[in-house]
Amino acid sequence: MLKLNTAIRRARYFHQQVDEAVTSFKSTLSNPELIRCKKGCSACCHTGAGVTEDEAELMASLINGGLSIDHGKLERQVSAKNWYSLSYEERGCIFLNENKECRIYHDRPAVCRTNHVLSDPKFCETKDGIEQTQRVLLTEEANMLIAASFIAAKKTGTLSALVFKKLQEKNLRSFSPMID
């Protein structure tokens, strides 16, 4: 029997299920080349992703394991009262590299796994702080998995807020005195 007794195992299993649903759906498309998303585009990586607590735990473990991020940028994202009051660059995901590629692609959040646009990628950009109408590939099974995961999760929130919280919890635990 499959044991999903840790947040990281649950997140990775969930990601695997979403990937399988997306792959299955994409295999039914008659024109998959109409999907306009390409490596390095990153426009959707500036809109703020929603994650579950398990996903945040997974991402925090990557950081605690040595993955370098801009902690100042993370703090600015978390403290912003309005996401779109931040500059476009400040809104960029903390896991983007200098080439605008995801450094945690294998462990990226579920919502990032289902972002596939059919419209011109310029409509994904929010440099002006305004989200525009896009034609999005609707991966219904994957979207249902994500919805169920968010309903079942103890906590959900923005990637920035939950990863920040998980990093703080880890730091507090590492400095707490041992109690027998």
pLDDT digits (tens, 9 = 90+) for 94-104: 999 999 999 99
pLDDT, averaged across the chain:
89
Q: What pLDDT, in 10s, does the model give residues 11-33?
A: 999 999 999 999 999 999 888 88
Residue 148 clears pLDDT 90, i.e. is over it: yes
CA distances from 109 to 18, 33, 50 (A): 10, 24, 8
Q: How far is CA 99 from CA 40, 41, 42, 155, in A?
A: 6, 9, 9, 32
Q: Quick check: helix, strand or coil at residue 135?
A: coil
Residue 116, in any domain of the structure: yes
**Residue 50 maps to a domain:** yes
CA 113 – CA 123 distance, rounded (Å): 19
**What domain count does the chain have?**
1
**Tell me: the pLDDT tens digits for 50-64?**
999 999 999 999 999
Q: pLDDT per residue over 97-144, tens digit each?
A: 999 999 999 999 999 999 888 888 888 888 888 888 887 788 999 999
Q: Is residue 178 part of a domain?
A: no
Whether 130 is covered by a domain: the verdict is yes
Residue from 50, 32, 14 nearest 144 by CA? 14
Residue 94 lies in a domain: yes
Confirm whether 152 is domain-assigned.
Answer: yes
Distance CA(46)–CA(80), nearest Å, equals: 14
Asked if residue 75 is part of any domain, the answer here is yes
pLDDT for the residue 179:
39
Domain containing 162 equals 7-15+34-172
Whether 74 shows a pLDDT value over 70: the answer reads yes
CA 45 to chain CA centroid, nearest Å: 8
Whether 25 is in a domain gets the answer no
Dist. CA 56–CA 165, nearest whole Å: 9
